[in-house]
Each structure stands twice: as C-alpha cells, then as structure tokens.
Structure 1
Amino acid sequence: MTRRGWVGDSLIVVVVLAAALMVLPAGGAAAPSQPRLCDVSSGRQFPRAEPGEVGLDPAALADAVAFAADRNRVNIQIFRRNCLVAEGPRNQETGNLAWNNWSIAKSVTSLVAGLAYDEGRLGLDDPIGKYLAPGLGDAAHRAITVRQLLTETSGLLSATVSEGASGVVQLDPDVVAQGLGMPFAYPPGSVFEYNQRAVDLLAAVVEIAAGEPFQDYAQRKLFGPLGIERSDYYWARDRSGHTYGFSFLLMPANDLSKLGLLLLGGGSWAGERIVSAEYLRMATTPSPRNPCYGFLFWLQAPGCESASLPAGIFWMSGLGMQNVFVVPNLDLVVVWTGAFGNRSGLGPIGTSQNTSELPHSFFRLLSRAIVDVVVPDLGPYVEPPLQDPDVSDYADASISLAIFGIGPAAYPGCTLFECLGLRLAPPAANWPPGCAIVVCTGTDPRTPGIKPG
C-alpha cells in the first residue's frame, strides 16, 4: 500500500521541527564540530541521535525514508556512527516481529563459520570430509573445501527454487545427505553458482567442527553477546534436525540491526571481539570466481550491477529484498525488510532480474543527506539489458525427486520416511505456534519475537 504524507512517526516530527528552527547555510545543514559517536548496546533500545549530530541533513534524510516506505519497506532503520537516526513509519508495529529474512541466513551462517575459524576449529581450505562421519558421501563430495562452500563454488548442481521450495514446508529428509547426493555441474572451485544445499553442508560442517549443535553455538558465540535472546528468533531445521544454513531464519529487524552494527564495528561489540577482523576482511573481499561476492556476502565491485551503490558497501540479502547494508567508509548501516518494491522499465522479468533500482535510488537520496563528507552523486539509475532466463537455474526435476529417494540426485538410503537409518520427524513438526512461513505473530509465549518489556 502506498503511503505518502504520513506524520505519525514522532521521530520525523522532531526532525522536521528541528530543521525548521535551525539557521542553515545555503548548502544545507552545518556539520557539527564534534560529531557524535554512539556506543553499541546489547539492550533493547538503540542509542539515538538527531541527524545533525552525526552529519546528516534532516530534510534529505526524511526524503530517503519516505521513498523507502513508499517502496514496500515495512521496517526501515538507518544508523550513522552507531546511532539510530531514522526509522520507517511502521517500525513500532514490525520491529519486534520475527520475520523470514530468507537468504540473509547465508551471511549469518558465514559469521558462525568465522567464529569456528577464529577458534582454530575450522580450516577454510580443509576438505569437508575431514569433518564428516566416515563413509558419508563419496570421495569427490568429501573433497569439496570449506572455502568453496563459502564462495558458492562447490560445483554442485543448482536449481534455487527446487532446492528451496521443499524447505518452506520442511519436507526435506536430510539436507546434508541431499547435498552429498547432488551431482556435480562443474569441477569444484571453477564456477560461481548460487547453491542452497552447499550452505546447508557448511552449517553441518561448522556444527561438527564446533562440537555442539549449530544453533547453540551461534547463540552462545554470536547472538547472545549482542543481546539477541534465543526466544527472539526461529531458525528452521530439516526432518533430521539439521539447520537450514541457506534460509528460514525468522528474526526481528531490531535484532538484524545488531548484526549490521557488529559488521560496521569490524567484528567488535562494546569492546569485546566477536568475529575477527581477519575473517571479516576475507568475507568481504571479492572472490576469484565472482567479484560481486565474498564469503556469502554481496559486495560492490567494478563490473557488478551494484557498482552504482556507495563505494565500499557490502550487504546481506534475502528474497523480497530483505537487506542489511553496511557502508564502513560512511559509518552507515541501513536495515530494511519488506516485499520487493524495485521497479523496472522492462516488465516483470526486468523486475526480477534487475534488483538494484530500489537500493540505487534510495542511496542516491540518502547520500544527499550526508553533509560532513563529500559523497559523489550516484546519478540516475541505468537499467542493464535483460538476460535470457534459464529455467534450469531455478528448477530441476532430479533435485525435487531426490527428496522421495528417486533419481540420480537421490542419496542412497534416503527417502521421504527414513534417511541414513533415522526415522524422520513429520514435516514442519518443529514450527513454533504463530509462525506461518513469512512471519511469526501472536501472544503465545512460545511464539518467537522480541517480547514487550
């Protein structure tokens, strides 16, 4: 629903009133002589600042927020120098709801892998067979390296919809076995191809390396120190109990923002080192087979569609344009959730292929709000030409049939009812009350989300 002219958000009212009272030079708001820097907090309330305290023009900032809200962004949070400076008009309704952030989970899985790497438990160039149980998977699959899983160069056959659709209702018998049964489309390490099962394999390898359940390790080492409670979120598992590393992390936007601030801080949080700067440097460095991708993070680089975004930006990305954007050289974090919202002059296919229009247009507006440093104008969005869609990138019958134990991608002894000798739980057996694929709502105390008080 289009929303223009809203005035209910108290923060924006304060910003507009403050702008009206300020005596401004012709070029806009004057940057403070001593810009404010907020301390990150593990509490429930983010430290706040007025835009002018952190080098932002209030009116231009309000324009950027209004634009995003008009593009189906149901939650919008903008941070400068760790300070929350702007929110969307629906944030009070949506900020504490556990929302399906889809492939943002991939980047979170990368962070958890970084924790195991930092502890010396996980080697990036180790073959995954070093961690898997003896006899699980053939020699070729066991030779895939951790780095190849992190950079999406495993070589495994990929069809993103066929891989992901069964997880929506948790029909998958065992995503580890399913990944190890997937045929190779390319030699490992040779080609970038976005793959869901590869990240599920990564989560399983991290779990084995860490010596404790993946989600327990993530909670103890990553989420807990940030003040993200176990009851805040739900991360789905398959019917054998393996965490979906590639998706299905339902987490409130108010918690996602903490992950963004952790990244902005180079892996440190309130004086405590969470993830090493070394790992984050590798994770946000272009990988050899795709300069637009690091260790399950998207990057800005020459030749990428994202090259029209602010210099140095990297981000987490999920279906429907769920995003956590981090711009270290501007001390900026933007988090938003919603349902698509980009526009194309090339019809529905253009809307699905060319997804940079919305972030480009938003960051062009937001850059105009930055008055303490010179930010080059991004210019009008130039839409790239359409590419011929390849249906095989999205759907493959052999991947779908493998769930039933049928076809060349099926892992031996893995069917819809039993896998690797384990009787399987019913589909969606561990979904908590109030959760319906996209969001968790309701008053049941077992429903994930940030509770009042």
Structure 2
Amino acid sequence: MRRRVASSLGVLLLLGVLLSAEAQRDGADSAYAPARWEWQTKRPEEVGMNATKIREAIRWASAHESTWPSREMREAIARSIASEPFNDIIGPVKDRAGVNGLIVRHGYIVAEWGDTLRADMTFSATKSYLSTVAGLALDRGLIRSVDDPVKRYVDDGTFESPHNSKITWRHLLNQTSEWEGTLWGKPDWADRFKGEKRPYVDPGTAWTYNDVRVNLLAYALLRVWRKPLPRVLKEEIMDPIGASHAWRWHGYRNSFVRIDGIEMQSVSGGGHWGGGLFIGSRDQARFGLLYLRRGVWKGRRLLSETWIKDVTTPSSVQPVYGYLVWLNTDRQRFPSAPATSLFVLGAATNIIWIDPDHDLVTVVRWIEDQHVDTFMKLVLESVTRISDLKGERATR
C-alpha cells in the first residue's frame, strides 16, 4: 500500500515539474495584468498556441457575422420587438461595428481582429456587470445576505405585496423572482419570451429570462448604493482594471428617480428597449480577465473569493445559469468548451468566454449564435500540450 502511495506521489510530483516547465516555456504568468494604456502582446507560440488554428478561428468568426441586428441598430431593434406589447424604444441605441474580438492567454493578447476599441451595445452582456455591482454591495456589507428579502432595503412599495415581499436578492440574481408589477412603463409580462399574462408561481421555483425584472434589480441596487451604478462600476471595477473612458451605461428616458434629493438615472440590464452597457471589446476582455483571476487585479482584490464562488454556482432551477452569468454545466451551453467555462453573453452574439482550464479569455462579437461553438472548438484546438496535461491531471 505504501509503495502504491509513494508511486502515485512520484507521478504527481513529476507531473507538477512538467507543468511548471511547460508553463515557463509558453510564457505563463498568472500575475500579469495590462496597464491602462498598454496591453502586451505575445505570439501564439510564446503562450503555447498554434497560429494557424487561431487564424482559422478568426476566419470562421469573420465569415459568420450576425444577420441580426443589422448595423442600423434602431431599425433592427424596432423590427425585433414590433409584435410585442409596449414595444416602444425608450433608451439610447447605436449602430454597430462589424465582427471583432480578441484572444487573451496568460493575460497577454494573442490575437485581435476588427475594431475592438469601439464602444458598441452589448445587450444582455450588461447583466453580468449589474451582477458585479450586486457582488460589490455584498462585499461592502450594504447587503447582508443574498437571502434577505429585498423589501428590507427598498421600502417604497415596490416589494410590498404578499407575493413580491417573498423576493430575495438571490431570486433577482438568478432570474427566479417572479416579480409582479410595472417598471418604467413596462409590465413584467411584456418581455419577449412571454408577451402574455400567466399565473405567477412562488419566487425561486421557476426561471424566466426577463428584462423588466433585471431592470428591477438595477433599481433596487441604486436604492442600496444611493449613487448611480455606472459610478460604482467605474470607481470599484473599471478604473482599477484600467478600462478606457469610452464605455457608457445607459438607462431609459423615463428611469430617473430622486434619492437623497438628487436626481439619478436607474440603468437598464440590457438593450431590449435600448440602453444598457455600450463598451469596446478590449474593455470586455479586461472584465473577463478579472473574473479569470478570481477577482484579483495586480495583487489587489476587487471582488471577494466568496462572490466569485457564488456567482458561478448554478441556480437550483436552471443549471446553466448563475448570478446573471451563463455557465457550461455538463457542457450544455457550448459543448466544445470546458464545463468550467463562464460566459458573459448578450444577443447577436456579444460574448466574453472565460476558460480557467486553459487560462483563456476570448471576446467575440457579432457572430451568429449557431456558429459560436465551432469558433470555440477552433480556439481550443490551437492550445498546445500544457492544457492536455492539465486535463490529464484533472481526470486522475
């Protein structure tokens, strides 16, 4: 028995030495994070990747540009919601760029294509930034627990009905709140996947992708922070990670409220009716790298380890969804990506793919949904033996 244990330990130690040497050869440095105006690049072979396969992945993305929305964004959104009730656009919109993106390994840019600096609409990718603001509120003690009823923090009647009073922060973050009401002129049942009234169920028992209820979370967090959420995001996350000054987070023309005598805009969690986060792909990649580094940037912890763990925990009623982020549980969302992957995902497709297994962050925008998985497959095929060894170790 002792010999078998000693033998196993010897194999693990040897594997560790091999991994360490391989990591040094392919330029791995988990401490590296880019400065505000500089982002170091590496050739693919310097970080253990194959340049030919990367070019193939980029060609694939470029050849499969989204047909929706067209580059004339207002017209595209208007057409997409034309059959919905309450279908007026009430937030800013912006014509989009073409396909673009970048691949980051070990913190370094390995490949980049298209206009990655242009701040475009991100639709529901905004939700993950909103979730992060909630995480900051928890880390700062502004919210004591995700299982607290929201009505303890928002006392203006929004959560006072017998049904709504059961809603917790966890329910809002998991999109299981079943909140009943109207916000910014949009009733909860007006969202695109419903469009008709149905019986409500208890909060926490059903998952419904619903922008009205996500906007409700933004409003509730505004009441908690008592200052505009874009300011919170800028001061606590975007400035520390060196993001540009080009990004903007919009609300609606009718989403202004008065808090402590000051008029503030409550932002939206997507671009369904306009608004949401407008941001460039490079800034998206920085945000993804923060999550890849589990909330730490240049040695400074911006998000707690507890939050990182909780945000990536599957909902009890939707296994591929956490706190306003998409998960790849059992590889259900994208079969070619590792099950440990995390996705910041918006329509059309706007995606930040965070892959801890391969120390990768990949941003790709305006690619057709059905072609994203093949793109991921090609990216992973470019990764050389270090990832194979990691995968071998994980199966032991």
Give 1:304's aligned amino acid: Q
**Partner of residue 57, structure 2:** 64
Q: CA separation in 2, counterparts of 1:35 and 1:373?
A: 8
**Partner of residue 268, structure 1:** 296
Secondary structure at 2:123 match in 1: coil
User: How much does 1:230 deviate?
Assistant: 4.8
What value does the CA root-mean-square deviation take over the aligned residues? Answer: 2.7
Secondary structure at 1:225 match in 2: coil
Q: Is the 8 A contact 1:219 1:230 kept in 2?
A: no
Q: Is the 8 A contact 2:237 2:302 kept in 1?
A: yes
**Aligned CA distance change for structure 1 residues 189 and 85 (closer, same or farther; 3 Å):** same
User: How much does 1:62 deviate?
Assistant: 1.5
Q: CA separation in 1, counterparts of 2:310 and 2:234?
A: 23
Q: Is the 8 A contact 2:291 2:354 kept in 1?
A: yes
The correspondence for 2:373, drawn from 335, 360, 379, is: 360
User: How much does 1:143 deviate?
Assistant: 2.5
Q: Is the 8 A contact 1:173 1:238 kept in 2?
A: no
**Partner of residue 136, structure 2:** 115
Q: Deviations over 1:13-50 (max 9, x none)?
A: xxxxxxxxxxxxxxxxx967533135212413322111
Secondary structure at 1:323 match in 2: strand
Structure with bigger strand share is 2
Q: Deviations over 1:111-167 (max 9, x none)?
A: 111011111111201111111134344332132110000001112479xxxx9xxxx
**Partner of residue 25, structure 2:** 34
Give 2:310's aligned amino acid: M
The correspondence for 2:325, drawn from 275, 297, 303, is: 297
User: How much does 1:304 deviate?
Assistant: 2.1
**Partner of residue 146, structure 2:** 124
Q: Is the 8 A contact 1:141 1:180 kept in 2?
A: no
Q: CA separation in 1, counterparts of 2:201 and 2:234?
A: 35
The correspondence for 1:204, drawn from 207, 219, 232, is: 219
Q: Deviations over 1:152-204 (max 9, x none)?
A: 1112479xxxx9xxxxxxxx7466xx559998622111011111122111112
Q: Is the 8 A contact 1:98 1:252 kept in 2?
A: yes
**Partner of residue 127, structure 2:** 106
The correspondence for 2:109, drawn from 62, 75, 84, is: 84
Give 1:36's aligned amino acid: G
Matched, 1:252 2:274: no
Matching of residues 393-408 of structure 1 within 5 Å: none
Give 2:230's aligned amino acid: Q
Matched, 1:315 2:336: no
Secondary structure at 2:353 match in 1: strand
Q: CA separation in 2, counterparts of 1:151 and 1:32?
A: 37
User: How much does 1:226 deviate?
Assistant: 1.6
Paired residue total: 314
Identity %: 26
Q: Is the 8 A contact 1:57 1:369 kept in 2?
A: yes
Q: Is the 8 A contact 1:310 1:363 kept in 2?
A: no
Give 2:117's aligned amino acid: N
Compute the TM-score of the two structures, normalised by the length of structure 1: 0.64
Q: CA separation in 2, counterparts of 1:297 and 1:120?
A: 22
Compute the TM-score of the two structures, normalised by the length of structure 2: 0.73
Q: CA separation in 2, counterparts of 1:32 and 1:330?
A: 11
User: How much does 1:238 deviate?
Assistant: 4.3
